[in-house]
Amino acid sequence: MTTLDSGNDARPERVFTISGQDWDDLVNSVRERAAAQPGDERVVVNMGPQHPSTHGVLRLILEIEGETVIEARCGIGYLHTGIEKNLEYRNWTQGVTFVTRMDYLSPFFNETAYCLGVEKLLGITDDIPERATVIRVMLMELNRISSHLVALATGGMELGAVTPMFEGFREREMILDLFEHITGLRMNHAFIRPGGLAADMPDDGIEKVSAVVDALPARLAKLSDLLTHNPIWKARTRDVGYLDLTGCMALGITGPVLRSTGLPHDLRKSQPYCGYENYEFDVITATTCDSYARYLIRVKEMSESLKIVRQCLDRLEPGPVMVDDRKIAWPADLSLGPDGLGNSPEHIGEIMGSSMESLIHHFKLVTEGFRVPAGQCFVEIESPRGQLGVHMVSDGGTRPYRVHFRDPSFTNLQAVAAMCEGGTVADVITAVASIDPVMGGVDR
């Protein structure tokens, strides 16, 4: 902070808050502003990183004049975990345990993008069993619903609507309980593995998924009824956080924010993966380019995801969930026991008591991992927040040489300035909530 004094004690001092920039350039710019706008009264304030309305540990640096935001900047890095660097010190299968923790609200998308990249480098994309692919799609779409529920619930709470917070998290609990039943964990599952899945669904898995899918439409409709036609909600979200198609294209914005401009860009349709071209669903769009449009898109996308999950249940046929190549397939026969997901007693008995070859094979794959041919690839999928891409480089070893993710939250946060500058401080909360950033993905 610097104080410029005219030398006349009768005149009040002018205080400017600064950061970065060359000192001489800063002093000149401050003097120019003071000369051009002698009556200018601006304040620089921090919103976050502890502020409950900044979607986690996001710091917003706002320059305000009265209640009007003149300049808005994002400060990130408070949740940095070094996941991408850590991947270079783990084998290809162990990497799943790291990437699932990036965007912690959509772990199955992180796992799928990573595994699709590994499988592309291995050249086994077409060898993934159909049952494994269908289960991947089913888990991702259920995860899309649970992620959107958090967006609606926390967005409502941040604008003062507490009931949607309770309703949204209650419905999300149904899905997380289902994830726990299938994978053994509510979040950070590491269930999707290179070559397929860690384990098959439990015997009653289809029955439990069907029960959740049947119960959710009425519950989601009730949540929508709380907000969609609520005059206060409309007043707080309509024409707020405006960003048109030109702005989205210039900044690389994807997901519901992009589709709120009327552009039906969804990688599940435009660049299908995991067999999405075989599923019937609509790409939801709007044309008003504001926070209310993004809310409506997420509400309707949940219904489309339920439609896809029902199709997955119809497509599930008995079969393996891991590739046949035993040099790649994780050497395990996992089952869900009283202490969680682990190797079945029969598998342990075989490798420890009856087959030295199985024991050696298990030891080599678990400790060293499989080798991936040298090369690089880029794979992208449609996560709840937009385009999730992974650039993967292999040097032919058992560990990645480099893995870099293009996380949609990181890219979409660039829109904060365009959405917020010229609006009020209260509208900043609405705009950031409509972007729905997850800082675990931003700071990976």
303 plus 187 within the same structural domain: yes
113 plus 215 within the same structural domain: yes
67 plus 90 within the same structural domain: no
43 plus 93 within the same structural domain: no
Short-list 114, 111, 164, 115, CA closest to 139:
111
Average pLDDT over residues 352-376: 84
176 plus 241 within the same structural domain: yes
Question: Could you give the percent of the chain with pLDDT greater than 70?
Answer: 89
Residue 341 has pLDDT above 80, yes or no: no
188 plus 284 within the same structural domain: yes
Distance CA(131)–CA(150), nearest Å, equals 29
Is 358 inside a domain boundary?
Answer: no
Boundaries of domain holding 43 = 2-75
221 plus 293 within the same structural domain: yes
Is 263 inside a domain boundary?
Answer: yes
Out of 10, 42, 75, a domain closes at 75
Per-residue pLDDT of 104-159, as tens digits, reads 999 999 999 999 999 999 999 999 999 999 999 999 999 999 999 999 998 888 88
Which of the two residues, 155 and 17, has the higher pLDDT score?
Answer: 155
Average pLDDT over residues 155-179: 91
Is 360 inside a domain boundary?
Answer: no
What is the CATH number for 297?
Answer: 1.10.645.10
Is 338 inside a domain boundary?
Answer: no
Q: How many domains is the chain built from?
A: 2
Out of 57, 75, 93, a domain closes at 75
Short-list 315, 254, 302, CA closest to 141:
302
Out of 75, 100, 125, a domain closes at 75
Is 261 inside a domain boundary?
Answer: yes
Per-residue pLDDT of 404-432, as tens digits, reads 999 999 999 999 999 998 889 889 999 99
215 plus 302 within the same structural domain: yes
Ranges of H-type helices in 186-290: 205-227, 231-237, 245-251, 256-259, 267-270
401 plus 276 within the same structural domain: yes
Q: At residue 51, what is the residue type?
A: H
pLDDT band (50, 70, 90) for residue 15: low
Beta-ladder partners of 342:
335
* Confidence (pLDDT) at 283: 95
- CA distances 425 to 46, 49, 242, 343, Å, are 11, 16, 15, 54
101 plus 198 within the same structural domain: yes
157 plus 241 within the same structural domain: yes
Is 267 inside a domain boundary?
Answer: yes
227 plus 151 within the same structural domain: yes
Distance CA(374)–CA(394), nearest Å, equals 5
